Amino acid sequence: MQALPKALFIVLLELSVGSYLSLYVLDLRRDTTRGFVVFQGALYLFQALLTVLAMNSFATPQLVAGYGLDVRWLGAQGPLVVAFTLLLIPWNVLLWRDRAPRKGQKGAAKAAAAGLAISPRLLLARHAVGAVTGAVGLAALFIVGMGYRPLADSRIGGAFVVLAIVAGALAIGSVWTAMWLGHWYLNTPTASGKPLEFTTALVVGALALELVFSLLAGPSTAHAQQNAAPLAPGTTIQVTGNQVQVTTPTPQPGSADQQQAVNAEQTRVAPLGAGAMLWLQILMGFVAPLILGGIAFVLARGRSFQSATGMLYICVAFIFIGEVLGRGLLLTAVA
């Protein structure tokens, strides 16, 4: 359970950066309606704010010290995540100022003929700010991956951990954008299906890469917190002011059978081992969404947007569960 908050921060960071990158590419293509890009830009800014909150609450270098991480890299984690969030503000402002209809949108040809297109300078500024924002987001993912790579460094120094985090960001971010885009088609059924096809193909490709990187990363080498001491059963800790009192009851003499019964009673067995959780991650986090993503791509090409959205809806749930399981297994302490 101690690993879950830290895993949640990594997944939120992946979601924020990956969803922004997929939206930025859609903005460059200019074949998605302006309303969708503006709405998603504001939503992804809110997601980034939640990521900053999760980082400060669960995953600062001070809070993860002693877990075997490379905290030298994590020193740059905070500034990069905050910078990524702040850069989303000017990008959104420049996005709101672009009121020209997009390619394929109603009135686009008439607006272009009347010379109502956005100023080239504003367009260049938005794309430049967006590129810098994406680069900072990728740098944040790289820094976090380098900080956590010692938890599975048995193969080429943990490089596959970094690659899996980056690929996971593209997978969970793209499926999040694709799911919202599918819902948007309910309001604009005559819009081009190319953006949905593109994002769905990106989901499948990123998932396939993440599966390969996750398998090549090898088992987790995480360990319990350093500088932590086990407590005997029945120990109580009382805090009064600036004093801490630890009381351990004195064991009473008893027969060997009684002592063995006490030890057996204290033994706890987890309902699911790490191996079972790994298979659950592979099946739910990779295999199922790969199949569903392929079906969604075929449906999108056939303009069955409602059915494709249903497939993507399930993909979001599966991929999110798979990401939480994967990062949780990475952070799970072993003996």
- pTM to 2 decimals? 0.81
The structure tokens 């798979």 sit at: 322
User: Residue 261: what pLDDT?
Assistant: 46
Cα–Cα distance, 294 to 292 (Å, whole number)? 5
Enumerate domains of the chain plus CATH numbers. Answer: 3-107+119-225+272-331 (1.20.1630)
Say which residues have a Cβ less than 8 Å from residue 239's Cβ, sequence separation at least 6.
245
- Quick count: other Cβ atoms within 10 Å of Cβ 177? 30
Cα–Cα distance, 75 to 174 (Å, whole number)? 28
**Strand 243-247 with 236-240, pairing:** antiparallel
**What is the full per-residue pLDDT of the chain (335 aa) written as tens digits?**
567 888 899 999 999 999 999 999 999 988 888 889 999 999 999 999 999 999 999 888 888 877 778 888 999 999 999 999 999 999 999 999 887 766 655 555 554 544 556 778 888 999 999 999 999 999 999 999 999 998 887 678 789 999 999 999 999 999 999 999 998 887 777 778 899 999 999 999 999 999 999 988 877 766 544 444 555 555 666 555 445 566 666 655 555 545 554 444 444 445 556 677 888 889 999 999 999 999 999 999 988 888 999 999 999 999 999 999 988 888 875 43
SS3 of 100-134: CCCCCCCCHHHHHHCCCCCCHHHHHHHHHHHHHHH
Instruction: Show the tokens assigned to 253.
Output: 């003499």
The structure tokens 């309303």 sit at: 35
The structure tokens 């885009």 sit at: 181
Query: Could you give the residue ranges of the DSSP H alpha helices within the chain?
Result: 3-29, 34-58, 61-64, 71-74, 77-97, 108-113, 120-148, 159-184, 194-217, 256-266, 274-282, 288-301, 305-331
| Nearest Cα to Cα of residue 92 among 33, 27, 42 | 42
Burial (CB < 10 A; 0-12, 13-18, 19+), residue 33, is buried
Say which residues have a Cβ less than 8 Å from residue 315's Cβ, sequence separation at least 6.
175, 179, 203, 289, 292, 293, 296
User: Residue 219: what pLDDT?
Assistant: 73
CA atoms within 13 Å, Cβ hemisphere of 67: 24
Give Rg (Cα) of the chain.
Answer: 24
User: Residue 119: what pLDDT?
Assistant: 78
